[in-house]
Amino acid sequence: MLRRLVCLLPAIALLAAGVPEQGHAGLFKKKSHGCGCEAAPCDACGGCESDCGCAPAVADCAPAMETRTVMVPTYVTEMRTVNATEYRREERQRNYTVMKRVPVTEQKQVNYTVMVPQQQTRTVTYNVCKPVYETKSQQYTVMVPYTEQVEQTYTVCVPTYEQRQVNYTVMVPYTEQVERQYTVCRPTYENRTVSYQVQVPYTEQVEQQYTVMVPHTEQRQANRCVVRRVPETTMRTVTVNSGHWETQQVPGVDHCGCPTVCCKRVWVPKCETREVPCTTYRCVTEQVPYTYNVTVCKPETRTRTCNVTRCRTETRERTVQVCKMVNETQTRTVAVQKCRPETRTRTVQVCKMVNQQKTRTCNVTKCRPETRTREYQVCRMVTEQKQREVAYTVCVPEQRTKTVNVCRWDCVPEQKTQTYTVCVPVPVQREVQVQVCKMVEKQVQVPVSTACGCDAGPACGCGG
């Protein structure tokens, strides 16, 4: 901003030097002289037209022009090298431990009880309903139809016709000429001077703040879930077959037919309940803390100079043509369609309905009651007892042993590798376009004051 202001100082000085001369030459406004009047422009017939007396007219009152060299600021686009920071994505690896659950199968002996079905028979007494039929008589009444002839009297409407005279009115159309007035809008145009505003752009340098995200590496704490198996011992109630063998003496007969005593071993069953310890494994989740690096971008505020284009408002005048509509009344003759009423007569035929009595013979169906007898059977149920053999099943408990596979889970640590991406800042150099202000010489025409104009002061005789 300061550099551009320094570049514009010579041009401002030259323009300031040329303004008084242009004012004396009459380019901007008319100058008031010492006599209190405003001098008029010079013409070819008599010099200055003023009330206080002027000098004789000169041949040419136009101001003299002089060529001068001024320095004009010009903006030139140049390429400059600036330092910038770019971010490159880079892949890295880290190792972490995962607890993996591995199944382990074991075989165990389990005692269980089985209900063995046995077939048995018993006698059951049940009741049976046996139907017994009886015959009964019943009287009922029916309506027997018969036909009878009856004379009926009925009324018939007979049409009769007669002629009548009827009057009716019709509307007879006719045309009539009528004068009517109507209004016509006639356009008229006039010139008006309108002021309007124009936005003139100019460039201004403004300091602007912007935010840059600068990467930083931070260490953070986090927790991860680790599953650990904890053994638990509980007591379980089981049924155990704790029977024993006994020697019993049984009477018998030897090969000679003499009585003797034989000894045999007999298994005596005995079931008892015991408390057996049972170990199970329960999975417990624990939170284990660990540290990891995170790249975080923090905002940083910087300042730069930018060119801003702004606009200033200027008021200008222009002449526009405005159209106005003026109402004008005119007369025209139009044909109007009208109707007049006219009475006419016509003959119409009227129909009347006359009632007439007639007689006819009709067949009428009537019913007389008649009593009849019928027989029907009635069924009643008689209870009778019977017996039958029923087979049923009884379940007897039986102790058995079987080998089952028991699965347990062991936690085994496993190493895994994870690939993650980080952004690494890299300094680079770029070519950018920059606008530079340079002063360039330019030839301009500047008016200078002469001795013949009305602004010349005492030389024209228009002022003191």
Average pLDDT over residues 168-178: 87
Nearest-10 Cα torsion for 348, 354, 358, 362: 80
* pLDDT tens digits for range 215-251: 888 888 888 888 888 888 888 888 877 778 888 777 7
pLDDT tens per residue across span 264-294: 788 888 888 888 888 888 888 888 888 888 8
What pLDDT is attached to residue 119?
A: 86
- Among residues 217, 216, 234, the alpha carbon closest in space to that of 282 is found at 234
Reported as type and span, the H/E element at residue 146 is strand 64-241
In sequence order, the 6+-apart residues with CB closer than 8 A to the CB of 320 are 191, 192, 194
Q: Residue 11 pLDDT > 80, yes or no?
A: no
14 sits in the region (left: phi over 0; alpha: psi -120 to 50; else beta) called alpha
8 Å CB contact between 281 and 409: yes
Question: Do residues 157 and 357 lie in contact, with contact meaning Cβ atoms separated by under 8 Å?
Answer: no
**Domain boundaries, given as residue ranges, for the chain:** 64-448
Is pLDDT at 134 greater than 80 in this prediction? yes
Q: Are 248 and 301 in contact (CB under 8 A)?
A: no
**What does pTM read for this prediction?**
0.21
Q: Model confidence at 61, in pLDDT bands (50, 70, 90)?
A: low
pLDDT tens by residue, 328-351: 888 888 888 888 888 888 888 888
Each residue of 400-447: pLDDT tens digit?
888 888 888 888 888 888 888 888 888 888 888 888 888 888 888 888
**Mean pLDDT of the residues in the chain:** 78
Question: Rg for the chain (alpha carbons), in Å?
Answer: 67
Residue 456 reports pLDDT greater than 70: no
Q: Which residue has the higher pLDDT, 233 or 458?
A: 233
Quickly list DSSP for 97-126.
Answer: EEEEEEEEEEEEEEEEEEEEEEEEEEEEEE
Cβ atoms within 10 Å of 456's Cβ, excluding its own? 20
pLDDT at 43: 42
Written as six digits, the tokens of 355 are 């009632």
pLDDT at 358 over 50: yes
What string of DSSP letters covers 185-245? EEEEEEEEEEEEEEEEEEEEEEEEEEEEEEEEEEEEEEEEEEEEEEEEEEEEEEEEE--EE
pLDDT(464) > 60: no
pLDDT value of position 459: 39
Residue 3 binned pLDDT confidence (cut-offs 50, 70, 90): low
Summarised one tens digit per residue, pLDDT across range 20-42 is: 444 444 433 444 343 333 434 44
Q: What is the pLDDT of residue 9?
A: 57
For residue 196, what pLDDT band results from cuts at 50, 70 and 90?
Answer: confident
